[in-house]
Structure 1
Amino acid sequence: MPSLKIAATGRTPEVDFDFPNGVLRLAGESYPDDVATFFGPLLTALRSFLAESPATPLRFDMELLYFNSSSAKALMNILQMLETAARGGRPVTVAWCYEEDDESMRELGEDFAEDLDSVSFLLKEVPVSGVR
């Protein structure tokens, strides 16, 4: 399956889903006007990849500085898909990156991690402006 790349806008994150190498990345800010229109193709592509390549290890780098509640629901859908894949035996790692001193994003990462049992979830503090 080919990679899925979408440039960031003022309201949507950069998407770099490198399916051939098993590395998925979201970076920037996420508060799209229409969450379903933005995240729908990402969920569809991920679902197809998971079905086509069941053994490929995956890493999801979550490098968002901010996201709204609608985006949080879409992110949870992505994480639940990854959790299902991990339960099926696929190695899955989530790297939740947050800027130092950003307690809110760290706590959100901790909250998301609580819902995942089979995914390896890493909280990764990065220097300010280290997250795009």
Structure 2
Amino acid sequence: MFTEKIMDKLKIEATKSSPEISFDSEDNLLEIKGVSYPANIEEVYAPVFSWLENYLEQLEDQEVAVNMEIIYFNSGSSMIFTDFFRKLENSVNKGKKISVNWIYEEDDEDSLEFGEDFQEDFKSLRFNFVQNDFRKLDL
């Protein structure tokens, strides 16, 4: 359980089946990157929802950016993301300023479509679709 002041940061390292999660209350930046198909999905995401609820309760006039760069996710993770976006949308409906940057690979139409589906379900959230083609650069 959290005390009166929220924790400044939440950092969960990626595993082969779960994403890197990085939430920073000072920068008002929430990031989820990688794959999401953990067998223990509730255990993985419980600290995320706990941190998020406390953060959103104490959020004032700051603008919040949510970067979602999900390469692959299963149906269980889809339900988790639905709950996540619902909490964000509820906060937007209470006057909070939150935008979602759905980051997808240039040739990954499925990822783009999933983001568009979430956008359709959560009309109060502002979704920005960002094509990530950095892997195509010649280094």
User: Do these two structures clear the TM 0.5 threshold for a shared fold by scoring above it?
Assistant: yes
| 8 Å Cα contact 1:6-1:14 kept in structure 2 | yes
Corresponding residue number in structure 2 for 1:74: 80
CA offset at residue 128 of structure 1?
A: 6.1
Structure 2 unaligned blocks of 5 or more: 1-5
Does 1:117 find its partner at 2:115?
Answer: no
Out of 71, 96, 107, the residue aligned to residue 101 of structure 1 is 107
Q: Where has structure 1 moved over 3 Å in runs of 4 or more?
A: none
- Residue type of the alignment partner of 2:21: V
Q: Deviations over 1:73-122 (max 9, x none)?
A: 11111111110111111111000011011111111011000011221111
CA offset at residue 55 of structure 1?
A: 3.0
- Residue type of the alignment partner of 1:92: I
Corresponding residue number in structure 1 for 2:22: 16
Bigger relative contact order (CA 8 A; separation at least 6): 1
Structure 1 unaligned blocks of 5 or more: none
- Residue type of the alignment partner of 2:28: G
**Percentage of matched positions with identical amino acids:** 34
Q: Matches of 1:129 and 1:10 in 2, distance apart?
A: 20
Corresponding residue number in structure 1 for 2:52: 46
Q: Aligned pairs, how many?
A: 130
- Larger-gyration structure (1/2): 2
Does 1:25 find its partner at 2:16?
Answer: no
Q: Deviations over 1:23-74 (max 9, x none)?
A: 0000011111111111111011101111122433211100110111101111
| 8 Å Cα contact 1:100-1:128 kept in structure 2 | no
Query: RMSD of the TM alignment (CA)?
Result: 1.3
| 8 Å Cα contact 2:106-2:133 kept in structure 1 | yes
